[in-house]
């Protein structure tokens, strides 16, 4: 077939967008933060994700050769979203066809730049390309599913010595349109890339999506979180890991607590806790530990305040006029902290 009649490939139809230099703010797509699209384990997963809630359907499938894309692989999509938003805001023309060096991607997502890290990046790109998604999210017609892979295709470039010189990749239209929409993207804390656990990474994105910077915060039922995560861990193990995350408080910018309904249903509550972490002797946030006297010095002497040795309570029993957390039609098992009528609160360590 002559080149005149040969149909153009997707790559040939797209303009090349070269990655912007500099330390850009990391941005994440809200749909990816709110719903289960990725494996939370580093182990090879081929079990599909089949999530249904109200009118939302998500089906994620993997091939045995590569396994399902993981939440660590999704860092590449955070890099892509950050690039697209930054360029759009600067008036630079963007495209689904993106070009960058492995070094640019790896340093942005907080990884090393050794040969081993580069091979891991290539494995992540393979998983992102081979994982397929079918979802009803943002589809105008009911029961219509949009099918795509996280990366349509990617190409590796090398210099004349065989060293990696660049990567071209094409993101799907579903993802690209979401990123271009201001209402569907959120800035995330760069510390997110330092979170090592799959569950805590997933939880940070969920918390950032729902609590944002709202002072009141939100709460979820443990069992709903288990279903929403699409984790393969049994619920008992999942709940144990959630409690451990609450104990460690690793999520940047948020304070987690566990609450128990009068019927002993376990809830995870989270609120924004944006405080300065200045060094000793410098100004810090306005949080004052309970039990502090009325007079608080404006400065500090030779040493800073030390946290009390007594453990801080991480749970409380809460009774609501409307105890059913499934009442929210858009996000079941979700309540805004402080906005539900409270009959009584008993603080304690929980059962």
Confidence of residue 164 (pLDDT cuts 50, 70, 90): confident
Q: Where are the beta strands (DSSP E) in 265-340?
A: 266-272, 315-320, 334-336
**Confidence at residue 311, expressed as pLDDT on a 0 to 100 scale:** 45
**Confidence at residue 301, expressed as pLDDT on a 0 to 100 scale:** 36
pLDDT exceeds 50 at position 342: no
**Confidence at residue 140, expressed as pLDDT on a 0 to 100 scale:** 66
Picking from 248-252, 282-286, 290-294, 312-316, which range would have the lowest pLDDT averaged per residue?
A: 282-286
pLDDT exceeds 80 at position 302: no
pLDDT in tens, 315-324: 555 544 333 3
Q: Find, among 75, 71, 35, the residue nearest to 190 by Cα.
A: 75
**Confidence at residue 261, expressed as pLDDT on a 0 to 100 scale:** 85
Look at strands 16-18 and 97-100 and give their pairing. parallel
Mean per-residue pLDDT of the chain: 80
Confidence of residue 153 (pLDDT cuts 50, 70, 90): very high
Q: Find, among 229, 221, 226, the residue nearest to 198 by Cα.
A: 229
**More confident position, 1 or 138:** 138
pLDDT in tens, 205-228: 999 999 866 666 789 999 999 999
DSSP code at position 191: G
Query: Rounded mean pLDDT of 23-52?
Result: 96
Q: Per residue, what are the HEC states of 207-272?
A: HHHHHCCCCCCEEEEHHHHHHHHCCCCCHHHHHHHHHHHHHHCCCCCEEEEEEEECCCCEEEEEEE
Measured CA to CA, the distance from residue 203 to residue 142 in angstroms comes to 29
E strand or H helix at 166:
strand 164-170
**Confidence at residue 318, expressed as pLDDT on a 0 to 100 scale:** 52
pLDDT in tens, 251-265: 999 999 999 987 788
pTM attached to this predicted model: 0.79
């Amino acid at each position: 077939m002559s080149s005149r009649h040969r149909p153009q490939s997707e790559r040939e139809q797209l303009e090349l967008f070269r990655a912007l230099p500099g330390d850009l703010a990391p941005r994440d797509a809200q749909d990816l933060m709110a719903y289960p699209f990725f494996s939370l384990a580093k182990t090879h997963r081929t079990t599909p994700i089949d999530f249904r809630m109200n009118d939302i359907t998500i089906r994620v499938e993997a091939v045995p050769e590569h396994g399902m894309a993981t939440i660590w692989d999704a860092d590449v999509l955070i890099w892509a979203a950050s690039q697209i938003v930054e360029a759009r805001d600067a008036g630079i023309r963007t495209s689904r066809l993106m070009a960058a060096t492995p070094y640019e991607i790896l340093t942005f997502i907080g990884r090393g730049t050794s040969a081993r890290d580069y091979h891991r990046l290539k494995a992540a790109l393979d998983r992102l390309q081979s994982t397929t998604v079918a979802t009803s999210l943002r589809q105008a017609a009911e029961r219509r599913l949009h099918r795509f892979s996280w990366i349509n295709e990617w190409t590796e470039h090398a210099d004349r010595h065989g060293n990696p010189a660049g990567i071209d990749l094409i993101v799907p239209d579903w993802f690209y349109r979401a990123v271009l929409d201001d209402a569907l993207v959120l800035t995330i804390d760069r510390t997110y890339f330092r979170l090592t656990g799959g569950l805590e990474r997933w939880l940070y994105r969920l918390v950032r999506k729902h609590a944002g910077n709202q002072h009141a915060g939100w709460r979820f039922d443990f069992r709903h979180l288990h279903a929403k995560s699409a984790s393969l861990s049994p619920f008992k193990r999942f709940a144990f890991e959630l409690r451990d995350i609450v104990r460690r408080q690793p999520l940047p910018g948020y304070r987690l607590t566990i609450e128990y309904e009068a019927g002993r249903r376990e809830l995870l509550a989270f609120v924004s806790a944006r405080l300065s972490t200045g060094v000793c002797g410098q100004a810090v946030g306005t949080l004052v530990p309970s039990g502090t006297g009325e007079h608080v010095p404006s400065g500090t002497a030779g040493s800073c305040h030390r946290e009390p040795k007594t453990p801080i309570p991480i749970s409380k029993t809460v009774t609501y006029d409307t105890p059913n957390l499934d009442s929210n039609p858009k996000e079941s098992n979700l309540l805004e902290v402080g906005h539900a009528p409270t009959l009584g609160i008993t603080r304690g360590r929980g059962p």
